[in-house]
Amino acid sequence: MENPKANGKVALVTTERSGDGRPAFSAPMTRRESMALLAAGCAAALPGRAFAADNFYQGKTIEIVIGYPPAGSNDIYARRLAEHLPRFIPGNPTIVPRNMPGAGSLTAAAHIYNKAPKDGTTLGIMAPTIPLDERLGSIGDRFKSAEFGWVGRINSLVNIIFVRADSLKSIDEAFTKEASLSATGAGSALTIYPNALNHIVGTKFKLIMGYKGSAEGMLAVDRHEVDGHCTGWDTLKTSHPDWLKSGKVHLLVQFALQRHPELPDIPTAVELAKTEEKKALMSAVVGASEIGISFFTTPGVPGDRLAVLRTAFTNCMKDEAFIADLKKLNLGLSPMPGEAVSKLVSGVKNVPDALIPELKQAYSVSAKK
């Protein structure tokens, strides 16, 4: 039997009968009631993608691939994130850190791009200088940084050069006196920054390559194998606060666009450049400090799942327990949402073509092994 209509509204047929035995009809449904019933039916019959994304991580394990050896600030940040982030992901998955050092973190980035499952169960951290490496064409076509799903940044990454106090007294001496620095791979910021400083502003740092990360590089300083090292400010102040307190080392320069609040008396690399062209070159190099300690997932992760990771990351950055954990370790916190990090990484392609030849020379490492 067809449903009768009353004033354009559909009346529902019921199985009940009226007193005279005829079918009894309900009152016509309002538009609001119709839409509510439709929504409830759709939700029951066809769960939306949001429901699927929320349920996906139940019982799953997420791997954080760390492109650095253990003990450095990148490793510490990643492990703190692995400890706290699961509480903010629906389903509370387990997160397992995995160190994959090699080629200045290029090995880890290529693994995540080419081999890791593209389902949101892999996170990673790599050198923030890599997007500029791509722009310069110095790392081939193993991956495209802009295609990663950027989840968020914990902190900006200000690198510094420090030397033992029995070596250089200030950055001014670095223009006339050679000082040796322990360095890692050619693609690492620990190598790129001092090399670029040599080429663009004329310092005389000699890079001694082959050390496996900052922990080993700083040990070389302590053993007098080298005069100093380039590393993250967070790494130095958490690993050797005693060196800073005792005056065992001198900080010479910081690689950032502006002076870090904790380093008001240390010049930036951009300040050392004497011409506008050289300032533009140095700014392009140290712009990586804004990408900083950022985490990403593979390309091709469904948008709703990436949104779950980004929301969880943002909420974790506001969590009192997470903030207290970083403070206890003397680590900084300057978070940035994944969407903003993605724009920074994509924006590297806008470095002017006129700067590329000089930047390539600045990135070209010539060092003793």
Query: What is the per-residue pLDDT across 43-52, written as a single tens digit (0 to 9) for each?
Result: 443 444 445 6
- Rg of the chain, C-alpha, whole Å: 28
Contact 124, 296 (CB under 8 A): yes
- Bridge partners for 63 per DSSP: 96, 122
Looking at residue 350, what is its pLDDT? 87
SS3 363: helix
Is 119 exposed, middle or buried, given 0-12, 13-18 or 19+ CB atoms closer than 10 A? middle
Query: What is the per-residue pLDDT across 327-359, written as a single tens digit (0 to 9) for each?
Result: 999 999 999 999 999 999 999 988 999 999 989
SS3 337: strand
Contact 135, 167 (CB under 8 A): no
Q: Are strands 149-155 and 293-297 parallel, antiparallel or unpaired?
A: antiparallel
pLDDT exceeds 80 at position 81: yes
Domain chopping of the chain, boundaries: 5-46, 57-157+291-354, 159-288+356-363
Query: What is the per-residue pLDDT across 150-195, written as a single tens digit (0 to 9) for each?
Result: 999 999 999 999 999 999 999 999 999 999 999 987 778 889 899 9
Q: Do domains 57-157+291-354 and 159-288+356-363 have the same CATH topology?
A: yes
Distance CA 243, CA 253 (A): 17
Looking at residue 366, what is its pLDDT? 52
Q: Residues with Cβ < 8 Å from 252, sequence gap 6 or more?
A: 160, 161, 162, 163, 168, 170, 171, 174, 228, 266
Between 249 and 27, the higher pLDDT residue = 249
Q: Which CATH number fits domain 57-157+291-354: 3.30.110.60, 1.10.3720.10, 3.40.190.150, 1.10.220.150?
A: 3.40.190.150
Looking at residue 290, what is its pLDDT? 92
pLDDT exceeds 90 at position 229: yes
Query: What is the per-residue pLDDT across 109-119, written as a single tens digit (0 to 9) for each?
Result: 999 999 999 99
Confidence of residue 42 (pLDDT cuts 50, 70, 90): very low
Question: CATH class for domain 159-288+356-363?
Answer: alpha beta
Query: What is the per-residue pLDDT across 87-123, written as a single tens digit (0 to 9) for each?
Result: 999 999 999 999 999 988 999 999 999 999 999 999 9
For residue 253, how many other CB atoms are within 10 A of its CB?
A: 25
Distance CA 69, CA 215 (A): 8
CA atoms within 13 A on the CB side of 15: 0
Distance CA 131, CA 110 (A): 13
pLDDT exceeds 90 at position 319: yes
